[in-house]
A and B are shown apart, each in its own frame.
Chain A
Amino acid sequence: MTEVTELSWPEADAPHTKEVLLNLGPQHPSTHGVLRLVLELDGEYVARVDPHIGYLHRGTEKLAESFTYTQIFPLTDRLDYLCPPSNNLAFALAVEKLLGIEAPIRAQYIRVLMAELARISGHLLITGALPLDLGAMTALLYAMREREMIMDLLEMISGARMHTSFCRVGGVREDLPDGFFPKIREFCDIFPNRIRDYERLVDNNRVFLKRTQGIGVISAADGIDLGLSGPNLRASGVDWDIRRDEPYEIYDRLAFNVITRDEGDCYARWRCRVDEMRESVRIIEQCLDQMPDGPFQIDMPTIAFPVDKDRVHCSMEALIQHFDLSAYGFKVPKGEVYSAIEAPKGELGFYIISDGSPKPFRMKVRAPSFVNLQALFGVTNARYLADMIAVLGSLDPVMAEVDK
């Protein structure tokens, strides 16, 4: 006969709490990629969170050391894959600073135009994805509809929907195609109304407001201490935008507002991005109005590919130039540079050390998502698990950029 042990239930009033370890991710829809959070739960409370990253580590920096400068552009595409043009731009600017050159004005306008399209595309995702994480699905589907328009525009310019690789050191790859201007003007006309649609969808959603307002508050001092940048920091009331404060390319010719909020909560971070999309449309319209004629690539045969591709087939010099640049690359003078731009996620910096060869000696990417994600430590301790999803969504990390 087996012995029957009497099961004893904990007394109703006796504290019977045990911390539970829970793995959230790496495959979980609300972690926006392959992020694994090891959570120590005390009931619904998150006692401790330990993010594990690196599932998407591709060794971008190590790879870059064995690539020529032109070959690195496709690598930068794959950092923040929602907005590759800004990554291309950041890298091109860093190399151009080392070389002491500047792209022609028309190329700068094209780059800024594309970077702002990318900003809208990146912000659109979080506009829809944060409500999705909190249970409101509709906004994401509408946001994807508009994102498709941007994809089409980028495809028109570069031939690729996502990984455009359109920048080159000293300019862009090609000129804008015929029929591009009416298309993008149409987008600029339609899009501000669509932003109003999202606002109507989400801003009146009481569940969304309850779950974001006053949740995950980061003060300005904490935000700076944690290294937040971009809209995440501006939502805490820090008025800092690299586009305005250290203007690169032609941003000093453009009029735009830097959006800041004082609350520092999840809603403010979401709101900042929605408002930034409006400013981006303004920037794009100004780019279209001001876009000058002229070359789209610097006139330096040692750095830029031949503009007229047909010449490669009939001119010896052009063939040699093309071959030399493709096979060997171009030499970049010895030195080091740290160049940062205002990417959609925050300060995207490239630190490049050159030893005078056609390949970088060291390339460090200061990835904004990597730093922003770390702030999860600072805000989510002793918070409800459900709130943590909101905080994570509002910080808007892109895991490809976190893991490099």
Chain B
Amino acid sequence: MSVETSLIRTLIAERFGGAIEELGFSHGVHAFAAPPDMIVQLCRFLKEHPALRFDFLSDICGVDHYPEAPRYEAVYHLFSLPNKWRVRIKCRLRDPPRIPSVTGVWRTANWHEREAWDMYGIRFEGHPDLRRIYMWEGFEGFPQRKDFPLRGYKDKLNPFGAEGPPPTQPDLATKDIP
């Protein structure tokens, strides 16, 4: 247990009470679990607190824990340039997955969130431009979900795909995006 772990933990506990759960320190990263609705406040706090200054967002990553029950997860990796610390924030999301966008905290979150939307269908609320980024417009389904076949679904362009129509999820269709 290093000094920095206890510092980060106490500062977070002071500000957020018991809402943020600590997941321990492993392989150079301090991990925390946060409820999705607190992610923006937590990120802003970590970024702006003078003793922490996690000013660099390394990565946002979607995870599908199918068939576990809250199925989805958004994972944030933060880095503190002045202190050289790393923090991981994990938010478990219910189906259909929604989480507030952190594009207001870091501009770099824009494409990371678009990728997580494209691959997992995690909807980042408040994102200025939540479109698909890798797959083409009009593509149906979210390819990195665990129930999406590795070779895709069979159609006229993809004769080697799995049988069965692509799952249509009208409530998650791209057109609905505000």
Contact (Cβ within 8 A) A338 B29: yes
Quote the shortest CB–CB distance from A367 to chain B (angstroms): 9
Contact (Cβ within 8 A) A338 B27: yes
Which chain B positions have C-beta within 8 A of A61? 119, 144
Alpha-carbon distance between A240 and B79 when the two chains are bound, in angstroms: 11
Instruction: Count chain B CB atoms within 10 A of each CB in A53, A97, A224, A337 and give the residue with the most.
Output: A224
Contact (Cβ within 8 A) B108 A338: no
Which chain A positions have C-beta within 8 A of B134? 53-54, 57, 403-404
From 106 to 162 in chain B, residues with beta carbon under 8 angstroms from any chain A beta carbon are: 106-108, 110-112, 115, 119, 132-136, 143-144, 150
Chain A binding surface, main DSSP class: mixed
From 260 to 295 in chain A, residues with beta carbon under 8 angstroms from any chain B beta carbon are: none
Instruction: Count chain A CB atoms within 10 A of each CB in B106, B134, B136 and give the residue with the most.
Output: B134
Alpha-carbon distance between A224 and B133 when the two chains are bound, in angstroms: 22
Which chain A positions have C-beta within 8 A of B61? 351, 362, 364
Contact (Cβ within 8 A) B108 A374: yes
In the complex where A351-B77, A370-B111, A371-B108 touch, is A224 in contact with B56 (Cβ < 8 A)? yes
Contact (Cβ within 8 A) A362 B106: no
Alpha-carbon distance between A226 and B57 when the two chains are bound, in angstroms: 9
Contact (Cβ within 8 A) A362 B26: no
Report the nearest B residue to A367, measured CB to CB. Answer: B59
Alpha-carbon distance between A339 and B26 when the two chains are bound, in angstroms: 11
Number of B residues near A (Cβ < 8 Å) is 34
The contact of B81 among A63, A238, A364, A404, by CB within 8 Å, is A238
Alpha-carbon distance between A336 and B73 when the two chains are bound, in angstroms: 14
Q: Mark A20-62, 1 if CB is under 8 A from B, else 0.
A: 0000000000000000000000000000000001100101011
Alpha-carbon distance between A178 and B20 when the two chains are bound, in angstroms: 56
The contact of B58 among A66, A335, A349, by CB within 8 Å, is A349
Report the nearest A residue to B84, measured CB to CB. Answer: A245
Contact (Cβ within 8 A) B133 A349: no
Quick check: is B17 within 8 A (CB to CB) of the other chain? no
Contact (Cβ within 8 A) B135 A227: no
In the complex where A53-B133, A62-B150, A226-B107 touch, is A340 in contact with B81 (Cβ < 8 A)? no
The contact of B56 among A63, A227, A404, by CB within 8 Å, is A227
Which chain A positions have C-beta within 8 A of B143? 59, 62
6 residue pairs from A and B, CB less than 8 Å apart: A59-B143, A227-B57, A335-B26, A338-B88, A351-B77, A374-B110
